[in-house]
Amino acid sequence: MEEIEQPSITVLLYQRFGDVLVPINEVRRAYFANRSPNRFRRALREGEIPLPITRLDASTKGGDFISIHQLAAYIAHCGIKAAGNLVAVNDDRRQLGQVMAEALIDPIPIGADAAESRANAHHHHSKTEADHG
C-alpha cells in the first residue's frame, strides 16, 4: 500500500493564510487568542514567544508580520515538546504502576488455589446457614 505524503506545516499555513507573511494580529487570533494584542506583542518582543517580527518597511507605521516558515518551525517545536512531555508522563505512569503493583497484595487467589478457596468459602457459607436455620 502506498503511503500518502502529508502536507508540511508550511504548506498548511500558506493554505490557511494565503501568504508567506502573516500579519501578527492574524497569528494572535489564530493561535494566541488568550492574549490581548498588547500582551502578545510584549511576549514576542521579550522572547517569551520566540517568533521574530518581520517588517518590510522601515517605517514604524508599516505592517508587522510573522513568516510562515518561522511559525511552522515554532509549531513543529511545540509539537515535539508536547510529544516529549507525553512520553515523560507515560514513563512516570508506568513507573507509578510498577510501584503500586509491587505494593499491592493480590487478595484474589489465582489458578488451582482459586477453585479450592471458592469451594471452601461456599462450604463455610452453607455450614453457617445450616447452623442458624
Kindly report, residue by residue over 54-104, the tens digit of the pLDDT.
998 887 777 999 999 999 999 998 888 888 777 776 776 666 666 555 554
Flag whether the pTM goes above 0.75. Answer: no
What is the DSSP code string of the chain?
A: -PPPPPPPHHHHHHHHHSSSEEEHHHHHHHH-TTS-HHHHHHHHHTTSS----EESSSSTTSPEEEEHHHHHHHHHHHHHHHHHHHHHHHHHHHHHHHHHHHH----S--THHHHHHHHHHHHHHHHHHHHH-
Higher pLDDT, 1 or 32: 32
